[in-house]
A and B are shown apart, each in its own frame.
Chain A
């Protein structure tokens, strides 16, 4: 059966079709194509910067404050605008849970 992994050139996985990030199956250099399986067909996207294995790349342009989705669920929100094809990680994605630091700021009215 065909799935996200069966094509030999596949080097990225989109867990659910409404995700806005893709997880890479190997290290990707700037300008390299990322091939993935979505909606029963193979698609590709160009990486705009180097991204390591296991890390995420934006599939579409993501606005500041927008929810970032993987597994079809929220994994946090973007701290800046992220154009498509860029590395999405701790430098531009923050979690919204387990944030004792933020609750404190809210309490202080910041």
Chain B
């Protein structure tokens, strides 16, 4: 039996970390949360560019990401910092996070009387919140409590040959144990969507998957461009990937072979167990951010070119099938599965190595991205700034 421990929140959700999150509702509050984070070690600030001059679905999406980050089970408590005149409704952000059953406090810079006062008050509150959550203990959890995102970035030819199919094997094992696996990157299933669609549990799910791809492709059509050069990127191309179809066919194997239970929107909570697709950009940071906001508690990330991507609140395990990169960037790469390519390791064995790492990281082992402090956070935008 696999022994797993995690933080069970009062709404029953299960976290693998216990962070104090400092959440600015708008870019104007970034400096305040950054200063508080300097004063309160072990708190995490997530400065961002958004929260104002946004309307409609675009504003809703930013709201949803901010709330989702706060609600993520890896977060024990939240300090929301607003400016006071932005379009994001800070009170709603606070209330929706509080519904997930964790302490949330909201302060407003204009209300407090400026930056210095807000930093002072915020620092006091953050210290108290941290003290409260530090007393929480890990308790036994099961594999079915894991919600793991699978992602690839900085791909090369080795991604499709070994790291992605190896991760796919680990994903299958998680799902066989009633866990949940989420794959994103709509742009990177273009040309391979029919293979994924064949795994859909019903016609509705199948259609939703095709619609997601169509939406992206229509956007490319509207722009009148060949997406090659943007995706596959110059690095992907240097690594041997010639077209988006080739990249996609290599990409999708990271999701394993389980039936596709559903297609969810960006940053939307995953409804049930099993394998899900999240309609999202291929962009590493925006995709991982969307996963974190959807309640994913860990991401497994394959890379052939070598990318340092992390996330403020969820551990990101870096896996590479490129031996040279694994060696050159050992600061960043957690698992080297390149021995598959010389016949020393089977894909099944590589999948087990990844699975074992998932268990260890779930139990608290720090990923290299966590050790290095990689906390990239970026909200995917779908509208113009006003």
- A residues sitting closer than 8 Å to B (CB atoms) are 1, 3, 5-8, 10, 13, 15, 23-25, 52-56, 70-71, 73-76, 88-90, 93-104
Contacts and interface: CB of A to CB of B under 8 A. Distances in A.
A70 B217 CA distance: 22
Contacts of B224: 100-101, 103-104
A56 to B, nearest CB: 7
Contact of A97 (B158, B161, B190): B190
Contacts of A6: 343
A98 B232 CA distance: 11
B342 A5 contact: yes
A24 B156 CA distance: 12
Interface residues of B, number: 38
Contacts of B231: 98
Nearest to B220: A100
B244 A54 contact: no
B142 interface: no
B384 interface: no
A31 to B, nearest CB: 21
A28 B290 CA distance: 41
A76 B245 contact: yes
Interface stretch (B25-33, B172-180, B235-243): B235-243
Contacts of A73: 191-192, 195, 245, 249
B191 A97 contact: yes
Counting chain B CB atoms within 10 Å of each CB, which of A3, A55, A89, A93 scores highest?
A55
Contacts of A8: 342-343
Contacts of B215: none
Interface string B53-84: 00000000000000000000000000000000
B160 interface: yes
Contacts, number: 113
A85 to B, nearest CB: 17
B227 A100 contact: yes
Contact of A75 (B156, B221, B245): B245
B272 interface: no
A4 B304 CA distance: 20
Contacts of B217: 97-98
B157 A54 contact: yes
A99 B228 CA distance: 8
A97 B346 contact: no
B128 interface: no
B193 to A, nearest CB: 9
Contacts of B246: 70, 75-76, 95
Counting chain A CB atoms within 10 Å of each CB, which of B157, B227, B243, B246 scores highest?
B243
Interface in B309-343: 340-343
Contacts of B304: 54
Contacts of A23: 157, 161, 240
Nearest to A70: B246
Given A8-B343, A100-B221, A90 B242 contact: yes
B226 interface: yes
Interface in B246-271: 246, 249-250
A104 B223 CA distance: 9
Nearest to A99: B226
Contacts of A96: 243, 245
B222 interface: yes
Contacts of B341: 5, 25
B158 A54 contact: yes
A34 B190 CA distance: 30
Contacts of A5: 340-343
27 contacts: A5-B340, A10-B343, A13-B161, A25-B341, A25-B342, A53-B157, A54-B158, A54-B240, A70-B246, A73-B195, A74-B245, A76-B242, A90-B228, A93-B243, A94-B228, A94-B243, A95-B226, A95-B246, A97-B217, A97-B243, A97-B244, A98-B187, A98-B190, A98-B217, A98-B226, A99-B220, A100-B222
Contact of B157 (A7, A55, A100, A104): A55
Contacts of B156: 54
